[in-house]
Amino acid sequence: MNSSFLIQQIAFAGPVLVVYLVGMVLAVIFIKKYPVPAILTLLAMIVLLGTIFGVTFVQTYLIRARLGSGGSMASYSTMTSMVSIIGSIMRALGSGLLLAAVFVGRKGQTIAG
């Protein structure tokens, strides 16, 4: 297996990568005006961007390792499941940071129904 799989997976994530990069740029632009939300947004973008690349690289490595060593399907399945679980946890962390960035430092009156 060559690097085409890796490039293909990164290309599939292209639209999301663009959004994360724009988010990082905007966070840096607004860091002086809104420091806490901007820092949380920047951290979220880093976590989410890192997750895309990390999961993609590890999955590519696991596929190559399995094809090269002829490992069992059970061990490959277990490892890919663990990568998926860790990726989901990291995406939840990134989404949580974004959610915190939206609401942190808001001043205003909440209307109770």
Domain boundaries, the chain: 4-103
What's the pLDDT tens digit per position in 36-84?
999 999 999 999 999 999 999 999 888 888 777 777 788 888 999 999 9
Indicate the pLDDT class of residue 106, thresholds 50, 70 and 90. Answer: confident
Q: Determine the Cα–Cα distance for residues 53 and 58; give it in Å rounded to an integer.
A: 8
pTM over 0.75: yes
Q: Which of 50, 52, 75, 55 is nearest to 65 (CA)?
A: 75
Q: Which amino acid is at 39?
A: I
- Block residue for tokens 């690289």: 57
